[in-house]
Each structure stands twice: as structure tokens, then as C-alpha cells.
Amino acid sequence: MTMSSALVESIKRRAADEAERTTYPAGFPVLPPVPAARYADAGFAALEADAVFGRSWLMVAHVDELPVPGSYRRVDQIDRPVVLVRGDDGTVRAFSNTCKHRGAALVRDDAGTVGRRLTCPYHNWVYALDGTLVGYPEAHNFADLDRDCLALTPIRCATWGPLIFVNLDPDAEPLHEFLGPVADDLSELAGMEERLRLVAHHQRPVPVNWKIPVDANIETYHVNYVHKDTAARALRQPATGIQLLPKGHSRMLIGVQEGVSFASPLPTIFEGVGDLPLAGTFSYHVFPNLSIVFGGPGFLFLITNWPDGAPNRSTYHVHFCAAVPPDDSEHGSLLDVLVDVNEGVLFEDLTVLPGIQASIDAGALDAVRLSYQERRIYALHEAIDRVIGADRVPGHLRVPPVLGDHVER
């Protein structure tokens, strides 16, 4: 199932209608203040680590980052040692990066290839690419090792086309169910493992809570100010149409300015989203930390932001993708420009975000006050409390759920 033409038209119409609205929407609740300490409190960050990052499907890599059997990539975005490995059968699997002998890390570099086997650097225990223990030196010195119980610990891992997700919860629902309407809208992605190629993957540490850059990516209130010389020249910020979706996911279209075109010579990626990528910047937020953003019909970028050891530190990742052959020469310079331009706009946010964290850390801000156009941020907070369990969230940090009637099912 892809998007119906009626849905495509309604998304465009709702963005256009927003530009005409001059009063607060009738029937929409006033959004309660969001306690600022949710961006700084160590106890709250621990709850998020357990319930949000410990039990959600998380996009951690693109298949092009593991090109051949034996390719591996450490998942350093989460606070558990996990490694992705492409097997002899082409399947990408995730394991604890933990040898079953005495716990040494099997791989220490960020990425590379191990050939046919994973070999522990400490005492040379050897594992097949599917995690099976296949041998260890001086076997006669071990009385009764049960090899079958000593395979590497598997971590839930699933692909959605070229995108690799992991989930630390062995009982999590299947990825497709978790994605819900996002997977339906972008169902073509499932067949794009060979087609949607990784153009670039950039990451950088940012001195702010993981939610602060996510917030910036899911609202447009700041576009005319932070991005006044860049994105605001192309986008019509008041024409921001938003649909809140189940499980904390959402979609957004920001209309395009008169006379601006997002057309390009790049091959169109998705037919099933109609002309939405030409109508403006069209994007999805996938709970908790993934934004899927169309930079026109032929260019897509995936933004994730990750807690990084402290409530006021995170790491920002962007995977830039296009439906072009690897090492495409025909569109190489255009792709370079698209990466530079879009990355430049994203990182303009970093001119203001550290100041927010400094204010919160100093106790100078008690709460975040959100407008209607920032309601995806409130929806994210509601979803966070939902997955943690509202009764586990201290009362002074809780957000009351008010958006239930405004989620489109």
C-alpha cells in the first residue's frame, strides 16, 4: 500500500490551509508547559535509556555501510556494546559485541571487515558470522563447554529496505507493526535495498540533550529566523501541515515559496508519495529519534540524534541517500551540493541549541512553552511518558496527555 491520491492531496491542502489560518485552532487543546528538567535530569535520562532507547526500534545504519559478507559496524549510538555483521548469506545480524569467554570486545574499530570469522583478540575464540562458536584454542583445558550455549548473544535486528534497525527488547513488536502508517506510506522502501544508496554519513557531537535537536527538526516556528538566509528563502513557513500518527510518529509538509522548485535530474525515489516532495519539504518523524526528510523527489536524508553518556550531551547522525548507482559520476557534483546545503541548514540550528541547554542546566528555564505549530514536540513527550509508563515518571517531570483525540489512526 502506498499513499492514495486523496491522502496526498489532503496533506497538501492542509499545509496550504495553515497559511490562511489567523486564530488558534478551535477545539485544539492548550499545550501544557513541558518541564525543562526533562532535558537535564539524570534520573529521567535513565528512564529514557531503559524504556525509550532500551525498547524502541532504532535506525542505526544503512546497508551500504556493511557492503560484503564479513563487513561489520559497531553500534556506538546506544549504551550497550552491539555490533552489526553481514553474514555469508547476506543477512545483516546484530550481536552483543561481547566474547562468551571472558567478555572482551570482538571488534574494536568503528567498522571494517572480519573475513569469514569473528575472532576474539584476547584468547582467540572464533565465531562464525551467524554468531555460532566454532572453535577455541587448547580445548583440552576446558572440561565441559557447551558450544551451543556459547553462541554470541543475538540482538533484535530488522531491515526496512536499506535501513537497519535494532531493538534491545527481545519481546518488541515486529518493526513493521511499530512503523505502522509510516511503513504504509513509504512501502516502496521495502524493495529498495539495492536501489536507495548511501551518499554520505556524517556525525558530530552536540552539547545538548538528545531531544533538543530532534525538537528543532520537527517544528518550523524557527525557520524564518534561524534559517532566514537559507531554508526560509525556499520554504513558506506558515504553510506547515502536520499529522500526528500513532506511537509518537508524525508527518509534516512545509509548503514551498512561489517560484521555487525542488525538481532535480536525480531519479525519483518514491512514486507512491505523489508530488509531495515537490510541494515543499516533506518529512516523517519516527519515534523516538529518526527524521526521514525529502530534499526533493530524488534525495532523502535520515537524521538521528542519540544520548551520549550524559543528559546534556548527544551525537547527531545524518545519512544522505539517493537512488543512484554506487560511485555515481553523472550526479556526483549535484549530490555534493545537496549534502552541503542540507547539512548547512541542519547545523545552523546548532547556533542556538547549546544556549537552550545552558539555560536549562543553570536552572534558568522552568518549562518549555509550545505553540500549535510545535505540537509534534509535545507528542514526542507524551510518547516518551507512555513508553516509560506515566506512573514511573516523577510527578514534577510528567506531561499530561492531551493529544489523544488529535492522533490520526
| Residue 121 vs 344, nearer CB to ligand FES | 121
For residues 125 and 294, which CB has a smaller minimum distance to ligand FES in the complex? 125
Of 120 and 293, which CB lies nearer to ligand FES in the complex structure? 120
Any residues with CB less than 8 A from the CB of 9 and at least 6 apart, and which?
Answer: none
Which part of the chain contacts ligand FES (CB under 6 A), choosing from 115-123, 139-147, 182-190, 344-352? 115-123
Task: Rule CB under 6 A: choose which of 122, 263, 355, 408 binds ligand FES.
Answer: 122
Q: Can residue 125 be called a binding residue for ligand FES (CB under 6 A)?
A: yes
Instruction: Return the SS3 of 351.
Output: helix
**How far apart are alpha carbons 187 and 301 in whole angstroms?**
17
CB of 101 to ligand FES, least distance (A): 3
Q: In the set 101, 156, 195, 406, which binds ligand FES (CB under 6 A)?
A: 101
Residue 150 is a binding residue for ligand FES (CB under 6 A): no
Cβ at position 69, least distance to ligand FES in Å: 22
Query: What's the grid cell of residue 261?
Result: 522548485
**Taking the complex as a whole, how short is the minimal distance between the CB of residue 107 and ligand FES, in angstroms?**
12
Q: How far apart are CB 170 and ligand FES at their closest, in Å?
A: 23
CB neighbour class for 148 (10 Å; exposed up to 12, middle 13-18, buried from 19): exposed
What is the C-alpha to C-alpha distance for residues 106 and 120, in angstroms, rounded to an integer?
A: 5
The residue (of 113 and 124) whose beta carbon lies closer to ligand FES is 124
Q: According to the binding rule CB under 6 A, does residue 134 interact with ligand FES?
A: no
Judged by CB under 6 A, does residue 350 bind ligand FES? no
Q: How many of the other CB atoms lie within 10 Å of CB of 138?
A: 8
Q: Which residues contact 140 (CB under 8 A, 6 or more apart)?
A: none
* Binding residue (CB under 6 A) for ligand FES from 52, 114, 120, 212: 120
CB of residue 139 to ligand FES, shortest distance in Å: 12
Residue of the chain from 21, 123, 228, 369 that contacts ligand FES (CB under 6 A): 123
For ligand FES, which is the closer residue by CB, 151 or 278?
151
Q: Closer CB to ligand FES, residue 102 or residue 369?
A: 102
Q: Which residues contact 298 (CB under 8 A, 6 or more apart)?
A: 264, 265, 266, 267, 268, 269, 322, 323
Q: Which is nearer to ligand FES, 80 or 101 (CB)?
A: 101
The number of C-alpha atoms within 13 Å of 273 and in the hemisphere containing its C-beta is 32
- The CA angle 107-108-113, to the nearest 5 degrees, is 50
* 147 belongs to the binding site for ligand FES (CB under 6 A): no
The residue (of 144 and 405) whose beta carbon lies closer to ligand FES is 144
Considering only residues 244 through 273, tell me which ones interact with ligand FES, judged by CB under 6 A.
none
Write the DSSP string, 357-381: HHHHHTT---EE---GGGHHHHHHH
**Residue 99 makes contact with ligand FES by CB under 6 A:** yes
Closer residue to ligand FES in complex, CB, 102/116: 102
In angstroms, the CA 53 to CA 260 distance is 39
What is the maximal distance between C-alpha atoms in the chain?
A: 80
The yes or no reply on residue 13 touching ligand FES (CB under 6 A) is: no
Query: Residues 88, 132: contact at Cβ < 8 Å?
Result: no
The secondary structure of the chain in percent helix, strand, coil, rounded to multiples of 5, reads 35, 25, 40
The span of 118-126, 152-160, 222-230, 375-383 binding ligand FES (CB under 6 A) equals 118-126
Binding site residues, ligand FES, CB under 6 A = 99, 101-104, 120, 122-125
